[in-house]
């Protein structure tokens, strides 16, 4: 690990991180086991427990790999220590997940036709997400669990029932989300940075640095909340869809216990922290100071919260990344490391075909074995 990465991650030894990871995995597994024991007597399909485990596994990975979205800039500018930032992100992610169900409903009812698929479809989609997101996190590349989820559902749905399984109403929202995360994120970051520069144009840098440190802590909490309100809800939708397909629910409605369960599992994943991704977002795209981190987080969190209120599933990873790019571009375009940006864009583009392909192959394999 480089000295820069060590500075960001703090004095956390590899063995300590391994023990912490295993402890959190065990805790998440026990939660999942409890739920399986509760719903199993009501299930009409014995595959339901395995699929629920996969969904909660994907939610755990979501918390693990998307936690950097909320805390990368606040850790990169050293406004908070990594441990304090993770604790804050875990709490506000939890609150965000419980703030509504609009995005969960879009994922559960708007992406694929539930009447044309089965539990294997949902399970296959989760396998694609877990494999791809875990691999990219290992490489320190921030990818989108949102795109992985919709791509996985699409690939698995195509393997189960063909093109007619895809629902235009939900995919229209996915496309709108792409516009939000790419253009609105970049534009909001750039605009907010210009506003900050104008408002504090006569201020003494030393006097406002402390102010922006506290403002950035607040904006980071807002970013964590917005992540939970969008990314956290997506797997609630998938979980509820599985309960519907497994015969536990007669119609698609989201029980409160599902919200609490998914929120808790994501919070456990968040507590691990994706340190390589934190380094990429917090330092490698562009070097940020506290006022720039504040502008990037506020722009991204505002964009995500707006999308969540309309039930639009978007990529929180894309949104914070493009907001950071917009903030960096205010200084000069060369302030953004476009070589790093190119790596991110390539990974984002690969997410759709790879996750769809893995999910398609898993469902086809299951159908062949049966």
Return d(Cα 287, Cα 293) in angstroms, integer. Answer: 9
- Residue 166's DSSP bridge partners are 112
Is the sign of the CA dihedral 96, 98, 101, 103 positive or negative?
Answer: positive
Task: Tell me which residue has tokens 């036709």.
Answer: 113
Q: Please list the alpha-helical segments (H only) found in the chain.
A: 3-9, 14-39, 48-76, 82-97, 102-110, 119-138, 145-161, 168-179, 185-199, 205-227, 233-245, 256-270, 275-279, 290-309, 316-331, 338-369
- The answer to whether the CB of 108 falls within 8 A of the CB of 237 is yes
Q: What phi and psi, each to the nearest 5 degrees, are found at residue 249?
A: -110, 135
Residues of the chain scoring pLDDT < 50: 1-14, 282
What pTM value is reported for the model?
A: 0.82
Q: Which of 362, 358, 368 is nearest to 119 (CA)?
A: 362
Please give the mean pLDDT across all residues of the chain.
Answer: 81
- The answer to whether the CB of 78 falls within 8 A of the CB of 204 is no
pLDDT at 82: 76
Return d(Cα 314, Cα 230) in angstroms, integer. Answer: 7
- Residue 112's DSSP bridge partners are 166
Q: Which of 225, 233, 312 is nearest to 59 (CA)?
A: 233
The predicted-structure confidence for 130-186, as pLDDT tens digits, reads as follows: 999 888 777 766 677 888 999 999 999 999 999 999 999 899 999 999 889 889 999
- For a pLDDT cut of 70, what percent of the chain falls above it? 77
Domain boundaries, the chain: 3-369
The predicted-structure confidence for 204-251, as pLDDT tens digits, reads as follows: 777 788 888 899 899 989 998 998 899 888 999 999 999 999 888 889
pLDDT at 279: 59
Burial of 332 (0-12, 13-18, 19+ CB in 10 A): exposed
Q: Which of 69, 28, 53 is nearest to 297 (CA)?
A: 69
pLDDT at 38: 58
pLDDT at 10: 47
Q: Is residue 204 classed as helix, strand or coil in its secondary structure?
A: coil
Return d(Cα 188, Cα 177) in angstroms, integer. Answer: 15
């Amino acid at each position: 690990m480089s000295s820069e990465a060590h500075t960001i991650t703090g004095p956390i030894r590899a063995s300590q991180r391994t023990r912490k990871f295993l402890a959190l995995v065990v805790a998440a597994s026990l939660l999942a086991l409890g739920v399986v024991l509760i719903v199993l007597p009501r299930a009409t399909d014995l595959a339901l427990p395995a699929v629920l485990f996969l969904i909660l596994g994907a939610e755990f990975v979501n918390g693990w790999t998307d936690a950097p979205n909320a805390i990368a800039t606040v850790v990169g500018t050293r406004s908070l220590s990594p441990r304090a930032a993770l604790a804050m992100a875990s709490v506000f992610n939890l609150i965000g997940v419980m703030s509504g169900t609009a995005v969960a409903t879009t994922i559960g009812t708007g992406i694929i036709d539930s009447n044309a698929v089965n539990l294997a479809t949902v399970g296959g989609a989760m396998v694609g997400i877990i494999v791809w997101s875990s691999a990219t996190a290992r490489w320190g590349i921030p990818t989108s669990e949102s795109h992985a989820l919709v791509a996985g559902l699409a690939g698995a749905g195509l393997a189960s029932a063909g093109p007619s399984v895809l629902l235009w109403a939900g995919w229209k929202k996915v496309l709108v989300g792409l516009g939000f995360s790419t253009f609105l994120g970049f534009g909001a970051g750039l605009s907010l940075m210009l506003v900050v520069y104008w408002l504090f144009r006569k201020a003494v840098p030393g006097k406002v640095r402390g102010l922006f440190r506290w403002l950035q802590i607040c904006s980071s909490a807002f970013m964590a909340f917005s992540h939970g309100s969008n990314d956290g809800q997506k797997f609630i939708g998938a979980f509820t869809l599985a309960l519907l397909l497994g015969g536990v629910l007669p119609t698609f409605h989201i029980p409160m216990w599902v919200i609490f369960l998914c929120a808790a599992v994501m919070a456990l994943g968040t507590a691990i922290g994706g340190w390589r991704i934190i380094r990429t977002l917090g330092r490698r795209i562009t070097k940020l100071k506290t006022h720039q981190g504040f502008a990037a987080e506020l722009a991204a969190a505002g964009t995500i919260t707006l999308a969540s209120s309309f039930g639009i599933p978007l990529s929180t990873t894309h949104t914070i990344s493009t907001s950071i790019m917009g903030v960096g571009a205010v200084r000069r375009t060369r302030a953004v490391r476009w070589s790093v940006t190119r790596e991110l864009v390539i990974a984002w583009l690969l997410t759709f075909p790879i996750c769809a392909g893995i999910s398609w192959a898993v469902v086809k394999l299951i159908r062949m074995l049966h």
